[in-house]
Amino acid sequence: MSALLDSLLSASKADVLADSAKYWNPDKVRAWAARGTPLVIGRREGYHLYDMSGHRLIDLHLNGGTYNLGHRNPEIIAELKEALDHFDMGNHHFPAIGRAALAKKLVETAPANMRYAVLSSGGGEAIDIGLKCARYGTKRRKIVSIEKAYHGHTGLALGTADGRYADQFMSAGRPDEFVKVPFNDLAAMEAALASGDAACVIMETIPATYGFPMPADGYLPAVKALCEKYGSLYVADEVQTGLMRCGSGHLWGITGYGVTPDIIVTSKGLSGGLYPIGAVITNAAGGGWLNEDGWGHISTFGGSELGCVAALKTLEITLRPETIANVDAVAAKLRAGLDAIRARHPFFTGIRQRGVIFGLEFNGHPQGGKIVMRELYAKGIWAIFSQLDQRVLQFKPGLLLTPADCDEILERTAAGIAAAAASF
C-alpha cells in the first residue's frame, strides 16, 4: 500500500471529525451528530456502508441513485482500471472515443425525438446546460419550475430552487425570469405559461427533495401539452428518477408517464458511483447551438473520458433484461413488506412509490422522517429524510438487491420504525 493511502486509512474517526469540523464544514459535522447519525463512511461494498466505528448500514439513500448499482461495483471498477491504462480525462475541446460512444448511446436509448447529448461534470452543471438549451431553442428567458424544487446549486439551477437554498447567497432567481408554481396544480402552470414567454418548464418526474410526492394522474402529460400549446420546452430532470429507478423497463421515468420531453438531464447514477459525469440529452431545437457554436458551453471536466467509460458500463448493466426484471421484483417485494409494517403503526401514514423510489410518510410529527431516520440508523439502515418535507423519509433501494437483501432491509426497517413509535 502507498504511504499516502496508508496514512489516510490509518486515521481515526475522531481525527476525521475534528479536521472536518475545523477545516471542512463545521455545520454539517454538528448537524449529523445532533441528528444521531454521525456517519463517516469507511469501508463500502455493494449495498453496504460501514461507519468508521464499524457500524454496518444497508444503504437506502444511495446518494439519490448515485449507487444504483451498488458501491464499488466490481464490473465498473474492472472497466475503469483497464481504462486507466489507455485514457485520462481527455481534452474537452476535441472529439474523443469515449465521448462519441457515450453521446451516441444516450441518444439511441432516449425517445426518438432526441438528437444530441451534451456531457457535463455533474448534475447542477447539466441542469444549467439543459436550461440554456431551452433558452437557446425558444429565444425566451423565463423558466418555470415547481415550488419546493431542487435541481442543484449551480447558477440557473439555484434560480429555480426553493429559497432554503438560494436566499443566503442572494441567488433566488429574479421573479420575472424564474416563476414557481405548486406541484400538481395545472391551473397555476397554465397561468405561468399562458403569456407565451416561458423558455421551458423544468420538473423532476417525482420531486425527490420534496419527499417524492407522486404526480397526479394525467398531470405530467397535461404539463407537456401546455408546453406545446404555449411554445415552451419540457425539461425533465431525471437525475434521481432516471436510470431505471421508476421501474417497468423505463430508462427515464418520464417516458413511463407517457411524456416525451424535449430535454432530459441525468447525472448521479450515470457515474456508476465511481467517476463523476452528467449529461443533457436534447432535441434538435434545444441543441441547435451545437451546430453553430460548439464552444457555446465549455467545461474542462465535462464528459471526461474516464467518466464516459464509467457511464457506458453503467448503462450496459442498467439496460440488461435481468436488471430490468430485478428492479420490478425488488419494488414489489419491498412494497409488500412496507405495507405490512405500516399496518402495525398508525404513525406510518403513507407510502409513496414508483418502482424503487419510495417516500415513507410519518405525518404525525413535523420532523417524522428525521426521527425515523435516526432509529433506522441505529438498526443498520441508512435512509435520509426529505429536506423540503421533513415528515417524509426517502427510501431508495438499489437496482441489484437480492431477495435476501430485501428480507434483511424489511426486518431492520420494521425494528427501526417500531423503535420510533415512542416519539410520535
Ligand X SMILES: Cc1ncc(COP(=O)(O)O)c(C=O)c1O
DSSP 197-220: -EEEEEEESS-TTTT-PPPPTTHH
Residue closest to ligand X, measured at CB: 123
CB of 127 to ligand X, least distance (A): 5
359 within 8 A of 211, measured Cβ to Cβ:
yes
| Residues that bind ligand X in the complex, under the rule CB under 6 A | 64, 122-124, 127, 150-152, 204, 208, 237, 239-240, 267
Burial of 296 (0-12, 13-18, 19+ CB in 10 A): middle
Min separation Cβ 123 and ligand X, Å: 2
C-beta of 267 vs 299, nearer to ligand X: 267
Q: How many Å is the Cα radius of gyration of the chain?
A: 21
As measured in angstroms, the least distance from the Cβ of 257 to ligand X is: 16
Question: Which one, of 398, 413, 396, lies nearest residue 47 by Cα?
Answer: 398
Instruction: Look at residues 40, 95, 117, 54 and name the one whose alpha carbon lies nearest to residue 311.
Output: 117
Contact in structure between 364 and 329 (CB atoms under 8 Å): no
The CB-of-221 to ligand X minimum distance in angstroms stands at: 20
Q: How many CA atoms lie within 13 A of 57 on its CB side?
A: 31
What is the nearest approach in angstroms of ligand X to the Cβ of residue 342? 26
Shortest spacing between CB 151 and ligand X, in angstroms: 5
The C-alpha cell that represents 265 in the structure block: 438531464
Extract the C-alpha cell encoding 16: 476525521
DSSP 70-90: -BT-HHHHHHHHHHTTT--S-
CA distances, 20 to each of 49, 51, 55, 377 (Å): 20, 15, 20, 21
Q: Which is nearer to ligand X, 117 or 208 (CB)?
A: 208
Cβ distance to ligand X smaller for residue 271 or 326: 271
Strand order in the sheet with 263-266: 114-120, 278-283, 263-266, 233-237, 198-204, 142-146, 178-181
Complex with ligand X: residue 156 or 315, whichever CB lies closer: 156
**By C-beta, is 125 or 405 nearer to ligand X?**
125
Least Å distance between CB 360 and ligand X? 18
State the minimum distance, in angstroms, from the CB of residue 344 to ligand X: 32
* CB closer to ligand X out of 150 and 347: 150
Task: Kindly tell me which of 270 and 420 has the beta carbon lying closer to ligand X.
Answer: 270
Q: Decide whether 128 or 375 has the Cβ nearer to ligand X.
A: 128
